[in-house]
Amino acid sequence: MNAQTRTDQLLTPEVLAWMTAQAAQGHSKEEIFNAMLAAGWHADAAAQAVQLTAEELAAVVVPALALPLTHNMVDAGDKWVEVLFFAQVPNVIVLGNLLGPSECEALIEAATPRLARSLTVDAKTGGEELNADRTSEGMFFRRGENPIVQQVEARIARIFGWPQENGEGLQVLRYGPGAEYKPHYDYFDPAEPGTPAILQRGGQRVATLIMYLHEPEEGGATVFPDIELRVEPRRGNAVFFSYPQALPSSRTLHGGEPVIVGEKWIATKWLRERLFT
């Protein structure tokens, strides 16, 4: 890119041509975005440009409901799962009966001895840090770690048409009274210095599935402030949402409200663009 495009921050034909060529060479939108940052673009302008060209150059493929609906149910192979809520943009789907009670119990039992105060990925370094916005305890299963995990991962892959290999290991979280997860985005912020290192392992997160393993007596809803959606935690149910671009305009800001009475347990599956190792 030449100096002029850097300083006026406009999507000139030259910039579009450069972006088209980058995409044709197989560079991801994150790589194009990072190259633009390195060339002196402001993060907002680069994000806007990447968003526009992503639509023009190629449809961004993200996980989505991949099975036909029959009376609001999908045949997930080993069980029927109910679609309780569906929004197209952002794509948010609430599923009923994704997990059976014994699957929820088995996941809780296997996770319990391994719980530790939750960490989040530190966007500055790519490492992990204690986060005051997240007052739960958690653990990660390895992908395919045990038969229940395998069964759940296979079901998720079928329903959302996304390779199991592109998924992170299942994370189980336990929230006691007062514990919450303040509103955030699940994608890695492209403007943070630690993000390129994180993206080396499977690219961006493109979708989240939060499965409720145990419902509190009061509190603990998952909320999406931008779309005024509130999902009550019900054992066996789940909420899915995708974010084709790592931008606030994805409107996937979401949080876990404080638990008031009882315990809330969830299992979260984050889906990446590519093979997650």
Hey, which bits of 30-148 come out as E strands? 73-75, 80-87, 92-96, 116-117, 119-121, 128-130, 137-140
Min dist. Cβ of residue 208 to ligand PD2 (A) = 6
By the rule CB under 6 A, 98 interacts with ligand PD2: no
Which residue(s) pair with 175 in the sheet? Answer: 264
Min dist. Cβ of residue 277 to ligand PD2 (A) = 21
Residue from 196, 248, 255, 262 that binds ligand PD2 (CB under 6 A)?
255
Residue from 210, 238, 259, 271 that binds ligand PD2 (CB under 6 A)?
210
Kindly list the distances between the CA atom of residue 90 and the CA atoms of 141, 224, 241, 242, in Å, as whole numbers in the listed order. 28, 11, 7, 7
**Does residue 155 contact residue 256 with C-beta atoms inside 8 Å?**
no
Site string for ligand PD2, 128-167 (x = CB under 6 A): ----------------------------------------
Min dist. Cβ of residue 48 to ligand PD2 (A) = 26
Upstream peptide bond of 183 is cis (omega within 30 degrees of 0): no
Kindly list the distances between the CA atom of residue 145 and the CA atoms of 48, 83, 170, in Å, as whole numbers in the listed order. 40, 28, 9
Instruction: Tell me which of Zn ion, ligand PD2, none is bound by residue 135, counting a contact when its beta carbon lies within the kind-specific cut-off of 5 to 8 angstroms.
Output: none
Which residue's CB comes closest to Zn ion? 186
By the rule CB under 6 A, 268 interacts with ligand PD2: yes
Residue from 141, 181, 240, 241 that binds ligand PD2 (CB under 6 A)?
181
By the rule CB under 6 A, 256 interacts with ligand PD2: yes
Residue from 29, 214, 254, 272 that binds ligand PD2 (CB under 6 A)?
254
Cα separation, 131 vs 179, in Å, equals 12
The phi, psi pair for 153, rounded to 5°, reads -65, -35
Binding site for ligand PD2 (CB under 6 A): 181, 186, 208, 210, 222, 254-256, 266, 268
